[in-house]
A and B are shown apart, each in its own frame.
Chain A
C-alpha cells in the first residue's frame, strides 16, 4: 500500500506524541536530580541503594522511550518509500514528518537519559 493511501489517525496528527520522548527525558532528569538531593539531604540510606533506584527509573524511562521510538518509526514508515523529505502539505507528508521528527527525538532522549544516569553509577557517595 502506498503511503498516501494509508490511514491518517488523529494520533498521527498529534504534536504532543512527537515530543513525548523528550518529556520522558525531562521527567527522568527531574526525578534523578530531585530524588538524589532529597535522598542525600534526608540521609535515607546507602548511596548504593540510591544508585540502584536511579538505574531502575532509567530502565523504565528507556523502555518507554524505545516504545515511543518504535511507534514513531512506524509512523514515519521509512521502509515503505525511503522518504525522508516531507515538504508537501499533504496528510502523508505531515504524518511522516511528525514520525521522522519523533523518532529522532526518541533516539536523542535515549542517549540523554543514559547520560544523566552515568553520574549515579560513578559518584558512589552522597558527599
Chain B
C-alpha cells in the first residue's frame, strides 16, 4: 500500500468515530449504567492499545534494533514471563475490574416499575406506578424519569428477544416462560433508540423502540396523561376514521382506552399520536406512514402479524390514519 492510500484509509476510519455519538450508542452514555459500561470499554481499549504497542515494540526490537539471537536461558525466561506470568496477571486484573462493576449493573430499582414484553415484532410496555392495581399500557416506547433507578421486568411472548437500550445500559434477554429483570438510571433528559438484540424471526431487524427520559416532574405529568383515556376525535375526518376503525374490527386486536376497542393481540393505540415511532421503529407517526402501514403492513415489516387492508378504499384508510394520528 502506498503512503497516500494508507493516509486516506486512516482518514476514512475517522469517519467511523461519527458513529460513537447519537441516540443509540453505548459510547455516548445518558445513564449511570451505560456510563459505567463505556468506562469499561475505554479502560479495556487503553489496555489493548498498550499491549499492542508493547508487542509491536518487541517485534521491532527483535527485527530491527537488535536482531542477534538471544541466549537460550534469556529466551526461556522471556517466554515464561511474557507467556505465563504476564497474561495471568493482566487477565486477573481485567477480570477483577470487569466483575467489580457487576453489582451496580444489577442493583434493584427503587423507583418506577415497568414491565416490557417482547412480541413478534414489537414491545408491549406496562407501567406499574406505586400501588396500581392495573398497569398503564403502552407500546414501542419507554418513558423513564431521570435521577431514579427504574426496575424493568422483561418477558417474552413466543420466542426469545433481547432488550437493548445502549444509551442507558446493557442488554438483557427476554425469554418466554421466564421473568428477567434489569434496572436503569437515566442521568440525562433526551430521546434514544433501543433495538431487539436477539434474532426473533423475519422482522427482527424492524423490532426497535424509542425511549424518552424526562425530569421527575415532567414524568409525573406524562404518566398522568398516559393513564387517561384516548382523546375523542375532533374533526369530521377523524370521527369517520374512528367509525371505520371500529367497523373494520381493528379493535379485536388493538385497544384504545375509552372506546369499545379492547383487543390485546397488537399494540395499545390509546396515545399513539404522541409516540415517537410507528410499528416498533419502522415508521413515524405521520399520516402518510399510517396510511402505508394500514394498507399493507407486511410490505413494511415482512410477515407482520397484522392483516393488510388494501381492499379498503383510500379514503377510509386516510380517515383512520387521521383518527390515529390525533390520539395524543
Contact = CB atoms under 8 A, between A and B. Distances in A.
A119 B143 CA distance: 32
Contacts of A124: 102-103
A110 to B, nearest CB: 10
Interface in A78-116: 107, 111, 114-115
Contacts, number: 28
A123 interface: yes
14 contacts: A107-B84, A114-B92, A115-B91, A118-B96, A119-B102, A121-B99, A122-B99, A122-B100, A123-B99, A123-B106, A125-B103, A125-B106, A127-B106, A127-B108
Contacts of A107: 84
A86 to B, nearest CB: 16
Contacts of A115: 91-92, 95
Contacts of A123: 99, 102-103, 106
Contact of A119 (B84, B88, B92, B99): B99
B287 interface: no
Interface string B77-91: 000000010001001
Given A121-B99, A122-B100, 6 more contacts: A111-B88, A114-B92, A118-B99, A119-B99, A122-B102, A123-B102
B239 interface: no
A28 B181 CA distance: 28
A56 B204 CA distance: 44
A111 B91 CA distance: 10
B103 A122 contact: yes
Contact of A118 (B95, B106, B181): B95
State the majority secondary structure of interface residues on A. helix
A44 B95 CA distance: 28
A23 B106 CA distance: 32
A114 B92 CA distance: 9
Contacts of B108: 127
Contacts of B88: 111
B170 to A, nearest CB: 14
A115 B96 CA distance: 9
A107 B84 CA distance: 10
Interface in B106-125: 106, 108
A119 B96 CA distance: 9
A115 B92 CA distance: 8
Contacts of B91: 115
Contacts of A111: 88
Contacts of B99: 118-119, 121-123
Nearest to A110: B88
Interface string B23-61: 000000000000000000000000000000000000000
Contacts of B92: 114-115
Nearest to A122: B99
A123 B91 CA distance: 18
Contacts of A125: 103, 106
A127 B108 CA distance: 8
Nearest to A104: B84
A119 B103 CA distance: 10
A13 B175 CA distance: 49
Interface in B223-238: none
A21 B126 CA distance: 51
Q: Which 4 A-B pairs have the closest CB atoms?
A: A122-B99, A127-B106, A124-B103, A122-B102
A83 B102 CA distance: 45
A107 B83 CA distance: 13
A39 B293 CA distance: 48
A110 B84 CA distance: 13
Contacts of A118: 95-96, 99
Nearest to B99: A122
A82 to B, nearest CB: 10
